Amino acid sequence: MNTTVTMTEQPGLRNGVDTTALFATLDVVKSDPEIAQFQFRAENTWISGTHNRTVIHKFFGAKQELEHREPTVLEADHPNVLVGADNAPTPVEYLMHAIAACLTAGIANIAAARRVNLTEVSSTVEGDINVLGLLGLDSTVRNGYSGLRLTFTMRGDEPEKLRKVLEQSVRRSAVYDVLTNGVPISIDVVTD
């Protein structure tokens, strides 16, 4: 995943982030921690084979039911070599997008809050999987990634400031937290 951001600033914005709104949000959450509880949702439907579609639209946050401006539709599949039809990226490729996107968003917000200027943020993500595990051929091999490697290219203020912004983004990233600390998952089934 390679994402490049080049921003021409407008009054009241730093790196494309409305810092007035950012600090106002922090103040509101500090004064009412209950407002910080969010629940995101996704609805997935099988299409055929390994091809499926997810719609992301509604969520709960700031003490109310909310909707994104428009639904986002994501499709997933496996490549032909893994018995799919290659209609879309694999779910594990979306995971790479999720970590890169979360860290990049954090970089933008943290840099804006710290008055660090950005002129470019790009990243690449690589993940290694041995499919012996997910194919059920070797129980000693894990099903998921054995490792992820991210490389960020950042330009703007001096390098040490940029490194500190990235380090803070990693510390505050929800996706990084889930990937490194795990999360309890419950699965229910409804059948007719």
pLDDT band at 2; cut points 50, 70, 90:
low
Mean pLDDT of 117-130: 97
Structure tokens at 175: 């996706």
pLDDT of residue 102: 98
pLDDT of residue 154: 97
pLDDT of residue 13: 87
Structure confidence by residue, pLDDT tens digits, 6-57: 444 566 788 899 888 898 899 999 999 999 999 999 999 999 999 999 999 9
What number of residues does the chain have? 192
Strands (E), 88-176: 118-128, 147-156
* pLDDT cut 90: percent of the chain above it: 85
Residue 158 has pLDDT above 60, yes or no: yes
Strands (E), 49-185: 51-61, 64-76, 118-128, 147-156
User: The pTM is what?
Assistant: 0.88
Q: What share of the chain is helix, strand, coil (3-state, %, to 5)?
A: 35, 30, 35
Structure confidence by residue, pLDDT tens digits, 63-95: 999 999 999 999 999 999 999 999 999 999 999
CA 184 to CA 192: how far, in whole Å?
Answer: 27
pLDDT of residue 6: 46
